[in-house]
Amino acid sequence: MRKKIVAGNWKMNLNLQEGVALATELKAALAADKPNCDVVICTPFIHLATVAGITEGTVIGLGAENCADKEKGAYTGEVSAAQVKSTGAQYVILGHSERRAYYGETPEILKEKVNLALANGLKVIFCIGEVLEEREAGKQNEVVGGQLADSLFDLTDEQFANIILAYEPVWAIGTGKTATAEQAQDMHEFIRGVIAGRFGEAAAENVSILYGGSCKPSNAKEIFSKPDVDGGLIGGAALKCADFKGIIDAWKD
Ligand code: PEP
């Protein structure tokens, strides 16, 4: 059975003290009211080791928002997958549209990052999604299928078992404009088909596919009710405990 997951992406928000306060509040909220899904928070690098001390032994998983495409060495300012792992984190987000658009992350670079993350025992939350012009031109399946093929199709079945996919239509990220539940379902079904074609039906059935893009407590239940939507990758609404918890609770009856 594939996992239901709600993952937060803090992006470049919250200083260390604010991050510690949010993780502590979330830990208390989820201890008082157990979630029906896996919960992950992905934080800036500088928060990881401290937040790991808060989330350890709880239901909350911890991830980074990126890692380097090099193993180690003279790459000033970069953070390697091994370094992420050594903080106690278990996940890393890769391929986020902001990294692709603002930092020139190409499919080749992402391939390196995915390989290094998996080699270091991290689970990868791999983001894919089309921009508005591509959707308006009806090219969303072609774009998303290409992103999957370009960065993930060389993985072995064993490696692919540690991939979580996040479909994030770029036009819905941080814009307040959510894809409809039907648009999300159509794309998730398509993605599952692409995965079945490369890795087989069992892998497609087992891979969790999260939706991301202006997901909030008020729309999460409807989106999560779709058969191929296994949860969400949450940006803005992950920065307030009550909002993030509201989305986690969307998995409850
Ligand atoms: C994201 O950036 O991964 C995201 C989904 O952001 P938001 O929820 O703010 O649209």
Q: What domains sit in the chain, N to C, each tagged with a CATH number?
A: 5-251 (3.20.20.70)
In this prediction, residue 207 carries a pLDDT of 98
The residue behind tokens 């009710």 is 225
pLDDT greater than 90 at residue 162: yes
Would you say the CB of residue 236 lies under 6 angstroms from ligand 1?
yes
Task: Supply the pLDDT for residue 174.
Answer: 86
Overall size of the chain counted in residues: 253
Please indicate whether residue 168 is annotated as part of the active site: yes
Task: Provide the pLDDT for residue 233.
Answer: 98
For residue 142, the one-letter residue type is E
What amino acid occupies position 40? V
Residue 184 near ligand 1, beta carbon < 6 Å = no
With tokens 């991290």, the residue in question is 122
Cβ neighbours of residue 45 closer than 8 Å, sequence gap 6 or more: 64, 65, 66, 79, 84
Amino acid at 212: G
Angle at 105 between CA 103 and CA 111, to 5 degrees: 155
- Concerning whether 201 is annotated as a catalytic residue, the answer is no
Cβ neighbours for 201, distance < 8 A, ≥ 6 positions apart: none
Ligand 1 site, residue 231, Cβ cutoff 6 A: no
Please state, in angstroms and rounded to a whole number, the distance separating the CA atoms of residues 120 and 90.
10
44-101: per-residue pLDDT in tens? 999 999 999 999 999 999 999 999 999 999 999 999 999 999 999 999 999 999 999 9
Q: Whose CA is nearest to atom 4 of ligand 1?
A: 235
Mean of pLDDT over the chain = 97
Tell me what percent of the residues of the chain surpass a pLDDT of 90.
97
Mutate to test the pocket of ligand 1, among 234, 240, 244 (most ligand atoms within 8 A of CB): 234
Amino acid at residue number 109: I
- 61-84 b/e (C-beta count within 10 Å ≥ 16 → b): bbbbbbbbbeeeeeeeeebbbbbb
Specify the amino acid at residue 179: A
The SS3 of residue 120 is coil
Which amino acid is residue 139, in one-letter code? Answer: K
Enter the pTM of the model: 0.98
* pLDDT exceeds 90 at position 107: yes
Structure tokens at 138: 């009806």
Determine the Cα angle at 129 with ends 209 and 155, to 5°: 60
Task: For residue 4, give the DSSP letter.
Answer: P
